[in-house]
Structure 1
Amino acid sequence: MTRRPLVLLAVVTALVAAACTAGSEAPSPRRRPTATVVTVGAGTTVPAMVEGTDYRVVRDVPAEIGGETMTYYAVRDDGSSAVAVRYPSDKDQQTAGAPSPDRLLTVDLETGGTKALFTRDDDSELTDITEVSRGNGYLVWLQSAPDSYSSLTWDLYSYDLATKTERRIASSAELGIDDPPWPSFESIRPQIVGDDVYWAAVEAVKGNTPATAIYRAPLDGADPMTKVIDDATDVYADGGDLWFQRDGQMLAWDASEGAEKKAGTAAVHQPCGGYFHEGTLVQIDCGGKGSLVVTEKSGRRTTLRDVDGPGYLNATSRWVGYSIDGQAYVYDLSRQRLMRMKGAQGYSAQDFSGNRMFYIQQHSGTADDPHDATYPYIALLPE
């Protein structure tokens, strides 16, 4: 069965209820954070974003190129090209007679031309690229078995953009567990800090309970992976900062000293997931009708009420994006304004890049079949 990236996103969104909260830097105890409450639920009129006023289209990129489904990640600063994952077509799968591997490509956003970053000839059953991170001149990703939603057997790869060298730098096989479960919602994404990559993995299964820890490996594969933090999940990196979750609270970890400290987070009644980027903390509260609690670096806090089952979470120091029931929303932290993206189902890449992002625009078909869809690459306004 061909894996569709939107199916994976839908499954990951469904896992939010089993996830835990995320954290950010503690607001200064001398500053009383201001608070804003915005109601989003049924019956609330949320204005639609207007092209030319609230955003402009930089590029309009197809969801398929040559019959192959694409998901876009890191974009060059000038907007000319992006790193993308190519998912094999049904025809490829039938010709191969076995799951065909996903491929990493660069895509010229002007012409739609593609170029493979590397080719690999092996018989590994771990053919699906689950997530991609970029930093310090490297791409890093987890590769797993096709449609592996109940377990996560993985290999971790890095790609040196300067030397064009691909390496497998770690594997779940090294932990000696057959078919390990997923650690949690966010932890499938590797996080780059300096010359190292960090990720969460299941190190043991005790009864029906997985024991998770944070592991580290050098990007160049010079040394084997090592466990650095016990009993921890949901690792986040933001520049040189590294944060992880343990027992419902967020802690900071000093990569040079291994020191831990408690980080201040918002009071969330029933935490069930979150996101952290550019100093902006987004926490999902599943209590009642659901809400998003956004804490900025300044300490200002915004609660978006009646937000039930949000997916496609994104955040920067200026913007917060999410989707509910196939409708994408954007909250402008600077103007304290909530808007909806007309005709947008969600966001195709996890991180906003500055004020720019891809969103999913379905022209026909369904989310499980992205034929006749585009990924408009837009700049939010004002810039």
Structure 2
Amino acid sequence: MQAALASLEAQIREKLGSIRNPETGEFPTVVMRGDSLDNLHMHVEGSPELIELVRKRMGDDNDEELMPENETPEETPRVFLSYTSDDAALAERIATALQANGIETWWDKWCIAAGDSLRQKIDTGLGDCTHFLVLLTPQSVGKPWVNQEMDAGLVRKLSNKCSFLPVRHKLPPQDLPPLLSGMHAPEVSADEDIAQLINDIHGISRKPKLGPRPHAHAAEATTQTGYSAAANAVACYFVENSKYGRFGDPIIDVEPLAQETGLTIDDTKDALFELSAFFKDTKIHALVKASLFTEFDRHWKPWDPREDAQKLAADIMNNSDLPADSKAIAERYGWEPRRLNPAAHYLFERGLLVDYKVLGNPEFELHRIVGKADELRRFLKGRQ
């Protein structure tokens, strides 16, 4: 099985790793995790342009594992801005601010060109929006065109196809149209009003930060890691209790792990199954792999293995006097083995280091840190 997995990994690295962005010269970085075909995971790191090129070469537009590094898939909000030309200056301020803050904005001055069909362009903007934003002023509330667009926006809202966002400017709340009188319509004039509107569209809550849940103190990192609260509790336990940040450190059985995290046995088993790519065994024992620390250290430690790995890779390539011995490197950097190991494993996991794992060295994941010159060069080239 190990030989088959090694062969498969080599084929995948060769196939995907040779794809190159012709404009930037960037190569993708391939990460393989798992010790059997049942839990084998692969993802490819690189810029959005390179990931798109890899998708095209692979002929698969639906592979969720091909993702720009540090990016998570989420829908971009799309706003249709309804207003009257009397308020064009304020509408432009709002549209420009929305567009500059990650909100795709349909504004007629940008989206309707000479010779275009007004109805078709507006229909397209309305039909594609996730948020219908209407600027209500003393000038706009009586305009037939604005009211027709509001009708269309309300129909989409009632069909759960978009959110309806009325905002006021110099219009008293009592002068709102009857259908909108029950909606919150904030005043918009100052920059902080527009900033709050941007936060509302992005769903950024005004509430204070939610405190940790009982028995799962790592739950608040869910949105950062992409894993469940239970999985975060397990990952956090290993990050905070590992002495060296390497395989089998610490060693703990499932039942004691449940007690340490405050989870039930079933929740602990489900969390370990969710994190199976980071563990050797999850039936009775929870034998952690070094890859867990490369993935999760940045959430609960004051360092980021990704940044440390890039520094290490650059020094290997550029500093001929850099020692290969892991202990000597740690002393030069002023790092404990707990910090060096995740950085070194980050490079090793991506096929960038020679395998110098030895028995009898409890402190370091790799006895020597020796880079593969061509692979490291391509890795660094994509991160300049």
TM tier, smaller: under 0.3
Between Structure 1 and Structure 2, the one with more strand by share is 1
TM-score, with normalisation over the residues of structure 2? 0.27
TM-score, with normalisation over the residues of structure 1? 0.27
